[in-house]
C-alpha cells in the first residue's frame, strides 16, 4: 500500500553526533507515521472489499507489515478505530458539500441534497456499517458517530432554513427530524438492502418524501 521511504544511512567515515541522532529519531518518527497510515488504509480497503471483520494478519499482509507489528503503532483497538474513521472522513471530504445554496429553488435544493447523500453513503458504506456495529462497544466511535450525524443534520437545517423558519417551532422541529431520518445512512441501508432499490428508484423515493415534508401545504407533519 505505502510507497517505500528513505531510511537515514550513516556515513561510515562520519561521527555520530547530535545531528546524526536527531536524523535517526526523525527517521523513526517518519516510519512510524507511515506504518500507522498503511495499517489504517489497509483496514479501510478490506472493509471496502466486504471484509468487515479482518484479522490482524489480513490487515498486516495488506499493509506490508508483520502481524505482530500491527498494534505496535496503536494504543488499542479504540485508537485504531478512531484513526480509521478519521481517515474515512478525510477520504469522503470532497463528497460532503451540497451543490445548491439555501436561496435556490426548493426542487433544486432537494435534488442536490439527495444526490450528495447517495454519493457520500455509497463511498463510505463499508466503514459506516462497521462503525455502527461497533459504536455500542467503543466510546470513541460512538462520539464520532454522534458528531457526524449532528453535522449532516445541520446541513439539512441550513439548506432548508427558509422553509423551516416559516413554520412554527414544533412543526419545524418535526419536519427537520423526519428529513434527517430520510437522509440518513440507516435509511440508505434499508432502501438499497432490504428494499433492493437502485439509485434511480432511491432518488425518486427521497425526492418525493422530502418534497412532501418541505413544500408548505403538502407537509403531512
In a domain, residue 140? The reply is: yes
- What does the pLDDT read at residue 17? 54
Compute the distance between CA of residue 40 and CA of residue 33 in angstroms, rounded to an integer.
11
- What does the pLDDT read at residue 23? 57
In a domain, residue 6? The reply is: no
At which of 42, 74, 106 does a domain end? 74
User: Are 107 and 61 in a shared domain?
Assistant: no
Q: Which three cell numbers stand for residue 207?
A: 425526492
Between 90-104, 107-121, 151-165, the lowest mean confidence (pLDDT) is in: 90-104
User: Are 134 and 44 in a shared domain?
Assistant: no
- What does the pLDDT read at residue 5? 22
Compute the distance between CA of residue 120 and CA of residue 103 in angstroms, rounded to an integer.
23
In a domain, residue 209? The reply is: yes
Q: Report pTM.
A: 0.74
In a domain, residue 164? The reply is: yes
In Å, how far are 161, 168, 208 from 111, measured between CA atoms?
A: 16, 25, 10
Residues 6+ apart with CB under 8 A from 172: 164, 165
- What does the pLDDT read at residue 88? 81
CB-count burial class (<10 Å; 0-12, 13-18, 19+) for 91 = middle
User: Are 49 and 149 in a shared domain?
Assistant: no
Between 18-32, 56-70, 93-107, 131-145, the lowest mean confidence (pLDDT) is in: 18-32
Decide if pLDDT at 185 tops 70: yes
Q: Which three cell numbers stand for residue 15?
A: 561521527
Decide if pLDDT at 87 tops 60: yes
Q: What is the CATH number of the domain that holds 29?
A: 1.10.10
User: Are 180 and 117 in a shared domain?
Assistant: yes
Give 128-182 pLDDT, tens digit per residue: 888 888 888 888 788 888 999 999 999 999 999 999 999 999 999 999 999 999 9
User: Are 23 and 59 in a shared domain?
Assistant: yes
What is the total count of domains within the chain? Answer: 2
User: Are 107 and 210 in a shared domain?
Assistant: yes
User: Are 30 and 113 in a shared domain?
Assistant: no
Decide if pLDDT at 122 tops 80: yes
- For the chain, give the mean pLDDT: 83
In a domain, residue 193? The reply is: yes
38-54 b/e (C-beta count within 10 Å ≥ 16 → b): bbbbbbbbbbeeeeeeb
- What does the pLDDT read at residue 32? 81
Residue 91's SS3 state is helix
User: Are 120 and 212 in a shared domain?
Assistant: yes
User: Are 193 and 110 in a shared domain?
Assistant: yes
H helices of the chain, where?
Answer: 18-48, 56-63, 77-92, 106-134, 139-159, 161-165, 169-182, 185-189, 199-214
In a domain, residue 84? The reply is: no
- pLDDT band, residue 203 (cuts 50/70/90): very high
Domain that holds residue 59: 18-74
| Closest by CA position to 49, among listed 62, 66, 68 | 62
Amino acid at each position: 500500500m505505502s510507497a517505500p521511504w528513505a531510511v537515514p544511512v550513516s556515513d561510515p567515515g562520519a561521527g555520530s553526533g547530535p545531528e546524526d541522532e536527531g536524523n535517526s529519531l526523525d527517521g523513526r518518527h517518519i516510519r512510524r507515521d507511515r506504518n500507522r497510515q498503511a495499517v489504517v488504509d489497509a483496514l479501510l480497503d478490506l472493509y471496502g472489499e466486504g471484509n468487515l471483520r479482518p484479522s490482524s494478519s489480513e490487515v498486516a499482509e495488506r499493509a506490508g507489515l508483520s502481524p505482530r507489528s500491527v498494534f505496535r503503532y496503536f494504543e488499542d483497538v479504540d485508537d485504531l478505530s478512531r484513526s480509521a474513521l478519521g481517515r474515512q472522513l478525510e477520504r469522503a471530504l470532497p463528497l460532503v458539500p451540497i451543490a445548491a445554496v439555501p436561496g435556490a429553488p426548493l426542487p433544486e435544493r432537494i435534488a442536490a441534497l439527495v444526490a450528495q447523500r447517495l454519493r457520500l453513503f455509497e463511498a463510505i458504506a463499508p466503514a459506516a456499517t462497521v462503525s455502527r456495529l461497533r459504536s455500542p462497544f467503543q466510546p470513541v466511535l460512538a462520539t464520532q458517530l454522534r458528531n457526524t450525524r449532528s453535522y449532516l443534520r445541520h446541513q439539512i437545517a441550513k439548506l432548508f432554513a427558509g422553509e423551516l423558519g416559516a413554520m412554527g417551532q414544533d412543526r419545524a422541529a418535526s419536519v427537520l427530524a423526519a428529513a434527517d431520518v430520510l437522509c440518513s445512512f440507516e435509511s440508505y441501508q434499508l432502501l438499497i438492502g432490504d428494499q433492493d432499490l437502485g439509485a434511480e428508484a432511491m432518488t425518486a423515493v427521497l425526492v418525493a418524501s422530502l418534497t412532501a415534508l418541505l413544500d408548505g401545504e403538502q407537509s403531512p407533519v
